[in-house]
């Protein structure tokens, strides 16, 4: 018997509730478990603070499955098999002791009992830590589903409540085009009505011809004419880029998901983002397939950036359907410092525009790392004469304590190489630069990007540099 809890759970201090995903796997005939008790920091949690089904199903691992790592096995399941892969334990924080809801790490232990009387336990750590506060970089969830005309399992209001508790400032619901068809106006109005502590906006997930891949579209004002699984990816991208207002944009969704994007047969250009962290992903290092793909795409398309203005910026999208654990990826988007106080329509305009321009940083667990080249943030471009000084300031505001490595890359028409590195311990903090680097501007078009590894992984979009004409 194996009880699976996520290895990492984070909420804001002061969150109203914690939604903890739990699943159980076995190779034997056990069918159900009952929750016996919940311990937080070694102290029992009162029943009035717990919402949980009367019984939790136990899933049978088939012969040949990797029973030593059932969590990894989840990634191999088909869509229908995932439908009830998790049960949700809701812990209401009102009524818990002050020590149990203060910032920092807290131990959570669950104890179950089988109908035969056998006791099963599982434990994990809850981190109560806020996402970094910054006047420009706002934490956004870019791919989310719900149960209203979509294939999610929670109501839109329940999803919004969960993301408020995790500290996001904006959220795009991205229903599948074939499910939301006929309900777009209702959907857009619902997003506006749900906005408050968090701004909620309408997006769309659209399958390309023969469902060869999926694209996320932001900045749409109507759904008419967007048919699912009908058009090649490039046709969709070109049409989005020509929409009135020039704020709509396209992101390539889960490039190695189901289905994976057909990069060899159908390469595309002029899209605004690529998900480097997406859904139930296991690897986040520089050699992982999503990051390798992103590096190849940036190199391939770097020559077009100054011609078209489009770049494959780094994005994260949890693609959460409330079936498997919420991954908690964050895309930080660079916005005007007055953005939070603007009316909904103006917030939408500036956020849509920033996504089209590629002003993004992708974070696995919420840490914010970015750099400025002569004052310009990731997603922008700089024109300087060869030999001019590049003043690079690198900033770090972490969430998870630990040892981190920082790598600054420079690329030309290749995948780039590290030209600077540093290490630090701790979560960092503050808005003063952690490091300053000075380099000479090269004599050809190049680009720079930052990668952070450790307990968290962060990838910035590039800053592109073009030599000034003499």
What single-letter DSSP state applies at residue 64? T
Calculate the alpha carbon distances from 388 to 357, 370, 449, 465 in Å.
25, 22, 19, 11
Q: How many CA atoms lie within 13 A of 315 on its CB side?
A: 32
Domains 2-128 and 137-467 in one fold: no
Q: Give the Cα separation of 199 and 341 in Å (integer).
A: 11
Q: How far is CA 152 from the centre of its chain?
A: 17
Which residue numbers in the chain have pLDDT < 70? 62-84, 258-259, 429-430, 470
Tell me if 110 sits within 8 A of 38, measured CB to CB: yes
Q: Report how far apart the first and last C-alpha atoms of the chain are (Å, whole number).
A: 71
Q: Specify the pLDDT at position 311.
A: 94
Q: Specify the pLDDT at position 270.
A: 97
Q: Specify the pLDDT at position 83.
A: 46
Q: Give the Cα separation of 197 and 16 in Å (integer).
A: 13
Note the helical H segments in 77-176.
156-165
274 phi and psi, to 5 degrees? Answer: -140, 130
Domain 137-467 homologous superfamily, CATH: Metal-dependent hydrolases (3.20.20.140)
User: For residue 273, which of 364, 209, 357, 344 has the smallest C-alpha distance?
Assistant: 357
Q: Give the Cα separation of 232 and 234 in Å (integer).
A: 6
Q: Give the Cα separation of 461 and 441 in Å (integer).
A: 19
The domain made up of 2-128 is a member of CATH 2.60.40.10: yes
Q: Specify the pLDDT at position 73.
A: 63
Q: Give the Cα separation of 248 and 229 in Å (integer).
A: 20
Tell me if 139 sits within 8 A of 168, measured CB to CB: yes
The helix or strand, by DSSP H or E, that contains position 296, with its residue range, turns out to be helix 289-301
Domain boundaries, the chain: 2-128, 137-467
The helix or strand, by DSSP H or E, that contains position 235, with its residue range, turns out to be helix 233-241
What are the counts of helices (DSSP H) followed by strands (DSSP E) for the chain?
8, 28
Q: How far is CA 389 from the centre of its chain?
A: 34
Q: pLDDT tens digits for 136-168? A: 999 999 999 999 999 999 999 999 999 999 999
Q: What is the largest CA-CA distance in the chain?
A: 82
């Amino acid at each position: 018997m194996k009880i699976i809890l996520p290895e990492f759970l984070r909420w804001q201090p002061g969150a109203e509730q914690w939604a903890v995903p739990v699943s159980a796997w076995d190779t034997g005939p056990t069918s159900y478990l009952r929750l016996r008790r919940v311990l937080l920091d070694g102290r029992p949690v009162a029943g009035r603070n717990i919402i949980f089904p009367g019984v939790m199903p136990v899933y049978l691992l088939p012969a040949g499955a990797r029973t030593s790592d059932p969590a990894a096995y989840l990634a191999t399941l088909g869509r229908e098999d995932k439908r009830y892969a998790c049960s949700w334990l809701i812990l209401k924080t009102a009524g818990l002791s002050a020590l149990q809801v203060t910032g920092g790490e807290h131990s959570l232990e669950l104890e179950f009992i089988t109908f035969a009387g056998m006791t099963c336990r599982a434990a994990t750590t809850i981190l109560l830590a806020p996402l970094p506060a910054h006047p420009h970089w706002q934490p956004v969830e870019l791919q989310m589903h719900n149960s209203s005309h979509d294939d999610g399992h929670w109501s839109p209001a329940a999803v919004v409540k969960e993301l408020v508790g995790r500290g996001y400032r904006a959220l795009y619901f991205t229903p599948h085009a074939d499910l939301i068809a006929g309900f777009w106006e209702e959907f857009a109005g619902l997003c506006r009505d749900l906005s408050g502590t968090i701004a909620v906006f309408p997006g769309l997930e659209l399958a390309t011809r023969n469902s060869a891949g999926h694209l996320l579209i932001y900045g749409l004002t109507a759904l008419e004419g967007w048919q699912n699984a009908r058009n090649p990816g490039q046709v969709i991208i070109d049409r989005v880029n020509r929409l009135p207002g020039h704020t709509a944009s396209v992101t390539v969704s889960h490039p190695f998901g189901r289905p994976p994007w057909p990069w060899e047969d159908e390469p595309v250009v002029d899209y605004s983002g690529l998900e480097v962290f997406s859904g139930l992903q296991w690897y986040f290092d520089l050699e992982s397939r999503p990051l390798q793909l992103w590096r190849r795409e940036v190199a391939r398309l770097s020559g077009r950036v100054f011609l078209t203005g489009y770049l494959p910026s780094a994005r994260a999208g949890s693609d959460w359907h409330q079936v498997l654990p919420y991954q908690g990826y964050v895309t930080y988007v660079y916005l005007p410092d007055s953005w939070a106080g603007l009316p909904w329509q103006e917030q939408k305009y500036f956020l849509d525009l920033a996504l089209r321009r590629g002003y993004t940083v992708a974070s696995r667990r919420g840490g914010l790392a970015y750099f400025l080249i002569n004052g310009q943030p990731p997603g922008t471009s700089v024109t300087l004469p060869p030999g001019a000084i590049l003043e690079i300031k690198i900033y770090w505001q972490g969430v998870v304590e630990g040892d981190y490595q920082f790598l600054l890359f420079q690329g030309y028409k290749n995948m780039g190489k590290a030209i600077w590195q540093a290490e630090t311990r701790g979560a960092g903090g503050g808005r003063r630069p952690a490091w300053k680097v000075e380099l000479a501007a090269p004599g050809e078009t190049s680009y720079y990007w930052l990668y952070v590894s450790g307990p968290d992984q962060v990838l910035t979009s590039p800053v592109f540099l073009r030599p000034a004409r003499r």
